A and B are shown apart, each in its own frame.
Chain A
């Protein structure tokens, strides 16, 4: 039964969401679906996969949940029977197959702003994506105990503080949606930007981020911001295979083999981008920047004017020193590197910039491209002294060697 994994991956989230809605409890839902999957693993290879595996899993999980609620009600036999019958009655009123709304509800609950962002991420990976605690711990480079505790605490807050399992009312949607978008984006970026850990896990997270973004578009077809987010992750993801070389070293955009970029991802991303008109958030300009790169046949043909304009828009929506530093690079390519350097100077002596290895490396890179190799080397050294991930440091060391050589 080779496609069991695929079925599990696609049915886990909807099943947990359906049982959560029905039982009103995330813990019960998670455990019941886990048990239903174990049941499936036992019986499907023997009896064959049911025609509608999702419906089978939800029904099995519901029976498991019902058993548990009956067992744990901690009441007299008569009350237990009443609780059981109430459960049965509720079950009969509910569709057997989960409705899509359940999943959307689940996304909003997992990404609830009353939960810490790190908890939102862990809860999403567990309850919607179906990763095990061990898998999440490996993917996020945290201990299993820490991840387990985080998820338990988040679930108990949902229960104890009574965070509702629902899509927020229309007048709060604009405020709550960014949390869902940010949570999905962090699933993707944890995989895409995380440079540590085995690459298979990073690939899983990238895939899952792309999948969740696509799901959200399906669940909220009228949200241009969901489209923009999806465009962004697809366009980034099109370069997944080329951004590191065989040794795991980072490959900068201008040295990547464009023939190996994933054309399907690019086409999908551009299609999403066309539907993203009117998006208010920061994902749209970022997706535009990613799209300009993705569609440039060669590095030399990059449309820097368009990229600068997108950075202007990005900074207008969400000003950040890092955004301005990246815009300085784009200005450097549009107007010449001295102009880029001036733009970098214009950001001022923001303390966060002074501490950022990325910004020091950006300055070094502009100087290197201008041929001011000694100064470049100095800034590369500064960048190294400020820390950063091992692959980023390795890349800077390579550049430093080039400047000295």
Chain B
């Protein structure tokens, strides 16, 4: 089964110096070496200040440019893992360097088709919903959501590299590592007003096109981040 890992943490203040950046890169390379066979996709996201937030849905999209609320945790990266069960997925997730200063949300995915094209400096559209609006697979509500996403899929066509819905937040687990000890908690990272509910990897010629595409996504809110392309996964 596939799991989506969302890396969250405090927004780094200022540019990290070269040595620190190299150290972080090395930590991630070690992680990729260790967990390589289970990683199906993943990358670091561009600075949160460059992210875009779209609310209001496809009919009346409102686009807000970052930076957003100060002090809030920001998404810094994502992975898709293939693992036999949650234990194995958590075993991988806890090795992600981001666990040590922030946390990693591990979400079971509802299906996953690997992108057929190499993902590079593309875009991650993170679909957000208030927890009470999240619906459960196989319900009627879910089916109507599937229709809306099928329509988006037809409209966006080749721009969609991959994407998947996530199971409801009650199935998410958050991993933090403090003093070398893994701490698991039931549910998403923060008791926030919104939770991740799905994602798309989008290909666009430029930022404007990415925003236009993300604005068509049927979701309460979409957070659009450019991938850095550094993971080369």
Residues of A that sit less than 8 Å from B by CB: 113-116, 119, 153, 156-157, 160-164, 166, 168, 172, 175
A39 CA to B170 CA in the complex, in Å? 34
**Does B108 sit at the interface, judged by CB under 8 A?**
yes
Residues of chain B contacted by A115 (CB below 8 angstroms): 186
A114-B167 contact given A162-B85, A162-B86, CB 8 Å threshold = no
Residues of chain B contacted by A162 (CB below 8 angstroms): 1, 84-86, 108
Interface string of B74-102 (1 = CB under 8 A from A): 00000000001111001100000000000
- Check B184 against A161 for contact (C-beta < 8 Å): no
A114 CA to B107 CA in the complex, in Å? 12
A166 CA to B167 CA in the complex, in Å? 23
**Does B27 sit at the interface, judged by CB under 8 A?**
no
Whose C-beta in chain B lies nearest to the C-beta of A113? Answer: B184
Residues of chain A contacted by B168 (CB below 8 angstroms): 160
A113 CA to B174 CA in the complex, in Å? 10
Residues of chain B contacted by A175 (CB below 8 angstroms): 182
A351 CA to B185 CA in the complex, in Å? 25
Query: B88 CB to closest chain A CB, in angstroms?
Result: 8
- SS class, residues of chain A in contact with chain B: loop
A2 CA to B185 CA in the complex, in Å? 44
Closest 4 CB pairs of A and B: A164-B85, A113-B184, A114-B173, A116-B186
A166 CA to B171 CA in the complex, in Å? 19
How many interface contacts (CB-CB < 8 Å) are there between A and B?
44
- Check B85 against A153 for contact (C-beta < 8 Å): no
- Check B85 against A163 for contact (C-beta < 8 Å): yes
Residues of chain A contacted by B108 (CB below 8 angstroms): 160-162
A162 CA to B90 CA in the complex, in Å? 11
- Check B171 against A164 for contact (C-beta < 8 Å): no
Query: B1 CB to closest chain A CB, in angstroms?
Result: 5
Given A114-B90, A114-B186, A161-B171, 15 more pairs with CB closer than 8 A: A114-B184, A116-B187, A153-B170, A156-B171, A157-B171, A160-B168, A161-B108, A161-B167, A161-B172, A161-B173, A162-B1, A162-B85, A163-B87, A164-B87, A168-B87
Interface-central residue, B86, B87, B184, by most chain A CB under 10 Å? B87
Interface string of B163-189 (1 = CB under 8 A from A): 000011011110000000010111100
Residues of chain B contacted by A161 (CB below 8 angstroms): 86, 108, 167, 171-173
Query: A72 CB to closest chain B CB, in angstroms?
Result: 12
A369 CA to B85 CA in the complex, in Å? 58
Residues of chain A contacted by B91 (CB below 8 angstroms): 172
A160 CA to B185 CA in the complex, in Å? 16
